[in-house]
Structure 1
Amino acid sequence: MVNSDNAATQVGFWETVQRAGFWRRVLALFIDIIVVSLPLQILLIVLFAQTNGAVQGSFGINSTSCVSIGELPTGLEPAPPPGFNSIVECQTSLLGFDTSHSLRVAEVNQDGSVTTSIYRDYTLGADGRPNRAFTTDWIAILLLFAYLIFMDSRLGRTLGKRALNIRTIDIDAQASTGIPLRKAFLRQLAMLIGMIPMIIIASVMFFKYLAGADLTSLTNRSLFSLMIFGGLIEAVWLLWIVMSVANKQDPIYDRLAGTAVVRT
């Protein structure tokens, strides 16, 4: 049986609050990305300079400049794609301080209106020489997810949400501060459901690459079609979320987790 007092309390609660809109959520996330990434980027600037580019990353708010060059640097491993016709060198920086230095060697082919590219990326040191740098982008992503989960679990709001006067609540306990850790984790995980096909495709390509597959086999037409299919699923998933939030409805990941984001 439904507890009538509890039901009445819930109805009364939803009559006094508003769901957070699209731009409040987006701006809150933007602030949170800066909160997490900026200290890491400052540390990365120091590490990049001190290790001659042995530690690098291209996450966060940055600028990237690329230039085509005419000659390959010596010492590239593994070998570039056979028949390459494009060499592009890129530098990523924050306020003029380098955080990443890379090289892309590609074979670009034009067939009517369709352009295909087989490429291999390399990391370069601060001196422009090839190296096997430790990239930190994945660490920044993991820390961002950990921060979002921890703050929602403990306080129900991140620093970005606090700045935009919104918070995450547990549908089953609206008055509680924070949400259960399980729900906070499920909420972040559910956001990625639409990316599962692309994650699977990328994982297959990565393990084939580690097993020694040549680049041509990783860019065949069937795999390209699968990537388009995965990209469409991801786009539809994102559009569904955006439309739900824009209409001030709980997006699918909030419904799966039993949470909501409301204005305070």
Structure 2
Amino acid sequence: MADVFSLGFRAGFWRRAFSLIVDALVIGIPFQILVVWLYAATDGAVQVTGMYVGCHIVDQPKYALDPPPPKQSNFAKECRSSVIGLETSRTLVVGRAFREGSVTKTVSQNYSLDSDGQPRNALHLDWLEQLALLAYLITMEHRTGVTLGNYVFRIEVVSWKSPGSPGIPLLNSIIRQLSQWLGLVPIVAFGVYEFIAGGEFSFVFNEGWTIKSITLKSATNEVRVLLICLGLCVLWSLCNLILIVAKRDPLFDRLARVTVLRD
């Protein structure tokens, strides 16, 4: 570790953040352009959320929808997602807005539409863009230790074991990227347990997936466990954020035995 410390100063929050934004654009812009073509070529069978989403109120449809919209629906709106004016997705939202105390709540159901505004089954590829970004980050850190965003903001990921060599071991790169999301593990584990146990999260949600009003006295054991899981997620994120702002190695970098240095 002494060699790592002697190489330079650690990258702070803003360099890391802006570097990630550049990398997201490097992957996101070509991906969005591809989806624009796929959306047009497949008549809306392939869709993805674009960089701009605009919605406008429409009349409630007279035809049957599958699955059925919420009971006593009182609004409908059509949302279009686009990139530089080119459509990448089109969605009909039908739902019910109502008052609960001083709060207005909404229950809704979304339906994918084709380019003519008719309901159709569609494959949504938002997850594929995130997967491509993850693969890009892992590959570039492994091969050179520098992504395009890192190059722009003059930072580099180096290995504790061989800080003078370009790139970091592949396993370390995978550990670094995945461990950033460790805080979500308790929440995901809790959700999987509830799903396997046949729970429908009725302790948190009303019918239509609106959130219940919960007090400490009325909280069930499931709610308490969920709050603990959320607390662990927030704690993990805060610990890493504080270390990065202080220009020290965050926990996920330490787990991967790497550090991020700036010129």
Structure 1 pair 27–228 and aligned structure 2 pair: CA distance change class (3 A): same
Match of 1:40 in 2: 31
Kindly state the Cα deviation for residue 66 of structure 1 after the two structures are TM-superposed. Answer: 1.0
CA distance in 2, matches of 1:227, 1:125: 38
State the identity %.
Answer: 33
CA distance in 2, matches of 1:203, 1:72: 36
Contact 1:93/1:100 (CA < 8 Å) preserved in 2?
yes
Kindly state the Cα deviation for residue 220 of structure 1 after the two structures are TM-superposed. Answer: 6.5
Contact 2:60/2:94 (CA < 8 Å) preserved in 1?
no
Kindly state the Cα deviation for residue 34 of structure 1 after the two structures are TM-superposed. Answer: 0.6
Kindly state the Cα deviation for residue 196 of structure 1 after the two structures are TM-superposed. Answer: 2.5
Match of 1:76 in 2: 65
1:76-95 pair list within 5 angstroms: 76-95=65-84
CA distance in 1, matches of 2:74, 2:196: 26
Structure 2 letter corresponding to 1:71: Q
Q: Secondary structure, in 3 states, of the residue corresponding to 2:71? A: coil
CA distance in 1, matches of 2:107, 2:210: 7
CA distance in 2, matches of 1:225, 1:117: 25
Match of 2:181 in 1: 192
Say what the alpha-carbon RMSD is for the aligned residues.
Answer: 2.9
Kindly state the Cα deviation for residue 172 of structure 1 after the two structures are TM-superposed. Answer: 1.8
CA distance in 2, matches of 1:108, 1:68: 13
Structure 1 pair 100–226 and aligned structure 2 pair: CA distance change class (3 A): farther
Match of 1:243 in 2: 242
Kindly state the Cα deviation for residue 127 of structure 1 after the two structures are TM-superposed. Answer: 1.0
CA distance in 2, matches of 1:162, 1:155: 11
CA distance in 1, matches of 2:75, 2:223: 21
1:57-111 superposed Cα distances (whole Å, 9 cap, x missing partner) = 015xx11111122312635211111122232211111110011111222233321
Does 1:31 pair with 2:14? no
Q: State TM-score, norm by structure 1.
A: 0.83
Match of 1:155 in 2: 144
Contact 1:86/1:105 (CA < 8 Å) preserved in 2?
yes
My pick for the range that moved more, 192-201 or 125-134, is: 192-201
Does 1:52 pair with 2:51? no
Q: Going by fraction, where is helix more abundant, 1 or 2?
A: 1
Q: 5+ residue gaps in structure 1?
A: 1-9
Structure 1 pair 207–139 and aligned structure 2 pair: CA distance change class (3 A): farther
Structure 2 letter corresponding to 1:242: L
CA distance in 2, matches of 1:154, 1:91: 39
Kindly state the Cα deviation for residue 255 of structure 1 after the two structures are TM-superposed. Answer: 1.1
